[in-house]
Amino acid sequence: MIPQRDCLLKNKSPLFVSALVWAGSLFLVWERGFFLWGLLLAFLFLRRKYGLILLSILAFFYGYLSFPPPSLDTWRKQITGIAKVEKALVEQEFFQKGVATVFEPAGHEKRALFYFPKDTRLVPGDVFETRMTLKNPRSFWNPFAPDFARQRAAYGIVAVGRARTPRVIRQERGYLIEKIRHRLFAFAEGLSPAARGLFEALILGEKSHLPASLRHSFENLGLFHFLAVSGLHFGLLLGMCYLILKALFFFWPSPLLILTDRQWLFLCATPLLFFYALITGPSPSALRALVMYLVFGLALLGLRPLKGLDLLALAVWVILLFQPQAVGNFSFRLSVCAVLALILANEGRKLLPWPEKKIWHYPLASLYFSLVATLATAPWLLVLKGSFSPWAPVSNLVATPVFAFLVLPLCLLATFLSFGQPSVAVKLAELAPRVLPLPRLTLPQLTPPLPVGIFVLLLALACGVIFWTKGKIRILGLVLVFLLAFWAYQAYWSLNLFILLDVGEGSAGLVKISGYRKAILFDTGPRLGHFDAGEFIIAPTLRKLGLTPHLAVISHLESDHAGGLKSLKEIWPNLEEISPSHRPEERRGPGFALTFYSARRFSNQNENSLVTKLSLAGLKILFPGDIGRKRERELVSQDISADLLVLPHHGARNSASYPFLKKVSPALVFSSSRRAGHPARETLTRLKSLGLPHLGTKNFGAISLVWSDSEEVYLCTEKARRKYPLLWRSLWPLVKVGCRPLALRSQ
């Protein structure tokens, strides 16, 4: 059934409508969607909602003054200072991480995410002195990638620090919850990888220790929301408490003469839920669930229960008044959208035919509500990771009771018993992952057929036409949306696109060829500990661009260039690899040619890198891997001229010699690095003396070239693109924001 016009405003309480306008306005301010905010004001003006217009303007200025601006500059400094540990340290493969407050000499305090040596033994409340390196938080600047560094800055983490040898000065009191978390982290260290990952995710809100296979299974089946503490977990805990109280009241009904069973449930479950919320962080989604629960319980004690929409609206109001930055958190967005969709679906459930036999009520209701929640959160999941699982409704049907009655209770019992009976707690925690055997299948995921920004905008436009129009206007609107989608599809697939991705200290590039639906990869970025550029950067970027990789050209098999290859082959098994060991020859495809310059007689693996030149639509790009001067002297006798050059060895001082640069004679030089010494000062001096302009991912993020077969080439940087408001950022690369024409020799 198609909802009627004004369904979200008509016959809704003022509390819900005001919360919708307040949250929507804050969201547009956070994303700098100023044009869309203007459309919202115009819509409210046409509906004569003058009070809501004033509320939206207040939200605009409140968010504008509260939100940190996007950090597009880099800074770095070394000091000897004093800091205090605030959060329990989380052990990683090569270091430990935790949050600490730095006391600067001028009397200012700076909250930083610190990385400590592996053998550090600090607890929350410790004040320590150390030689430290501080720099600004920086997420990976790639097309359509969320700015996680800005989200950290919104919660007060304005720096990233690295402590050398911290020396404890004193211990300050307080931090009871964080000390409990510290002890639970220590308990989790003795568990197996699967048990540790599951225990830390469900109890401590930390997912960095989830084994890759377990994470992949949860994501593939659409069950990853079980690992992100939210209202689902609070609901499961409430359900367990309700069953226990119901059994108790069956044998001892006299307390029901004082309060109702729901009132007793609120009083008995509140301490448990408070402890659970605090021990998990709490995340914005857990905070939203806790506020909703408290508001509902207080209203229940006052014998004035709230409706679902009013309950959600009041929780959103409370959170966004005191923490407006929560609107930028994806966990909060997913949680609120899912709950809103479930509440509206529950109202629409009355209009659907349901079987008379109650045995079918649970499976059908579970499928129905899970499908609604999946569709409601799909746009956010597409923006976050480029895909979503269509298998979630079915897998939730099986997984929900197992989580409710086995997995979560086992982890909670292990939590409490870890303080008195650690041996029993270990057995319970180890049992938790065994009772949920997840099939290790690689099921197909749904990905956008267009760049995700354009696709989500078209989807939002189509939903707006369906929900806010009727009759012939609705049909005409849907036809116009379809024509826009068809034009965008044709325009996008006629473009050539090259992106040198921001993957940190490593190299990864991708090429989209006009009329060709698959991408070519040039190296696959680094893999260091739990960080895998293939899984966390390259694969999501490909999905968000509507691409799948066909060919991966690997310069050499060192971790910073080939680290992501394994995970990409697991995601796309048909991905073909070309590396020095494969004896490549020149390869031609639809509209492109690859020329390989391989070598085998050097003892240094870097010097043996597979050098590749891509010729595409009148443009030549040279990828030299990590070669040095020895290999460069060999190459200058060959035809290696190119319009664009990716600096060899990230711009190290023993590479990019004068003869090599003169032979290549590029119009523009790129570098891919995050290390302080890359590119080296000597390399930059050589580039400057030859008049070769240089752009690096360190300062500009991902660097892109966009062109069609008949138009000029546009040079785009992610740093420049992120300065634009939401609407124009979303339309890239069809709308070339953050781009400028690039004059090349071969044009």
Model confidence over 610-630: pLDDT tens digits?
999 999 988 999 999 999 999
- State residue 5's pLDDT score: 43
Average pLDDT in the 87-109 region?
85
pLDDT of residue 10 exceeding 80, the answer is: no
636 three-state secondary structure: coil
Torsion sign (Cα): 440, 337, 484, 29: negative
Looking at CATH, the fold of the domain delimited by 494-742 is given as Metallo-beta-lactamase; Chain A (3.60.15)
Model confidence over 258-275: pLDDT tens digits?
888 888 888 888 888 888
Average pLDDT in the 199-208 region?
90
- State residue 498's pLDDT score: 96
Q: Residue-wise over 251-269: b if at least 16 C-beta within 10 A, else e? A: eeeeeeeeeeeebbbbeeb
List residues bridging with 99 in a β-sheet: 113
CA atoms within 13 A on the CB side of 436: 30
Residue 723 and residue 733: Cα distance in Å, rounded?
A: 15
- State residue 520's pLDDT score: 95
Model confidence over 121-155: pLDDT tens digits?
899 999 999 999 888 888 899 999 998 888 888 88
Tell me the domain boundaries of the chain.
14-66, 76-174, 185-435, 452-491, 494-742
List phi, psi (to 5°) of 552: -120, 115
Model confidence over 100-123: pLDDT tens digits?
999 877 667 889 999 999 888 899
Average pLDDT in the 438-455 region?
87
- State residue 570's pLDDT score: 87
Q: In three state form, how does the secondary structure of 140-176 look?
A: CCCCCCCCHHHHHHHCCEEEEEEECCCEEEEECCCCH
- State residue 143's pLDDT score: 94
- State residue 497's pLDDT score: 95
- State residue 1's pLDDT score: 37
- State residue 643's pLDDT score: 93
Residue 178 and residue 468: Cα distance in Å, rounded?
A: 48
Same fold, 76-174 and 494-742: no
Alpha helices in 494-579 (DSSP H): 533, 539-544, 559-562, 565-571
pLDDT of residue 349 exceeding 80, the answer is: no
Residues whose CB falls within 8 Å of the CB of residue 674, separated by 6 or more in sequence, listed in order: 504, 505, 697, 698
Architecture of domain 76-174: Beta Barrel (2.40)
Average pLDDT in the 472-484 region?
92
Whole-Å CA distances, 397 to 11, 210, 229, 358, 443: 33, 23, 19, 16, 17
**Which of left, alpha, beta for 379 (phi over 0: left; psi -120 to 50: alpha)?**
alpha
Residue 318 and residue 324: Cα distance in Å, rounded?
A: 9
List phi, psi (to 5°) of 525: 75, 180
Please, are residues 589 and 516 in contact by the beta-carbon 8 Å criterion? yes
Tokens of 288: 């939203």
Residue 262 and residue 420: Cα distance in Å, rounded?
A: 32
As a whole number, the mean pLDDT across the chain is 87
Q: pTM of this prediction?
A: 0.91
List residues bridging with 621 in a β-sheet: 614, 644
Please, are residues 619 and 713 in contact by the beta-carbon 8 Å criterion? yes
Residues whose CB falls within 8 Å of the CB of residue 76, separated by 6 or more in sequence, listed in order: 133, 134, 135, 136, 676
Alpha helices in 535-670 (DSSP H): 539-544, 559-562, 565-571, 629-635, 658-664
